[in-house]
Amino acid sequence: MLEEVYRLCRDEVAKEGTTNHVRKLYEPFTPEEISAKIVERVRPKGIDWNGEIEIIFQTIENLHAAVPGHTGDWYFTGKYPTPGGYRVVNQAFVNYYEKSEGRSY
């Protein structure tokens, strides 16, 4: 899947398109599964620590209910308000996949 998304992102950057292909990586997972994976990744390793970590994200639906009419959900949904946002997210994934240190913008 990573290679497929990489190819799609690379092609999207080349044609200056406006599709966020990185979203495909998250589609198979629930918000709870993503939160659990983040906890797994940030939990300290190699030390004697017995604390608990819980990450809870507000749903997009509840965000819209809390801030009605606001269009700033792009940071969480990946639905960017400008073509430049799509170019940056796709280029960032291409850079990550190619282990490039270049800027995405």
- Asked if residue 104 is part of any domain, the answer here is no
What does the pLDDT average to over 42-47? Answer: 86
Which residues does 31 contact at the CB level (< 8 Å), separation at least 6?
57, 59
Per the domain annotation, does 57 fall within a domain? Answer: yes
Q: What is the pLDDT of residues 18-27, one digit of tens each?
A: 999 999 998 9
Across residues 74-79, what is the average pLDDT?
82
pLDDT at position 45, please? 86
How confident is the prediction for the chain on average, in pLDDT? Answer: 89
Answer yes or no: is 103 within a domain.
no
Under 8 Å between Cβ of 38 and 55: yes
SS3 assignment, position 94: helix
Asked whether residue 47 is domain-assigned, the answer is yes
Residue 35, domain member (yes or no): yes
- pLDDT exceeds 80 at position 57: no
pLDDT given for residue 95 in this prediction:
96
* Predicted local confidence at residue 96, as pLDDT: 95
Report the number of distinct structural domains present in the chain.
1
Q: How far apart are CA 101 and CA 3, in angstroms?
A: 19
| Range of the structural domain that residue 14 is part of | 2-97
Q: What is this structure's pTM?
A: 0.76
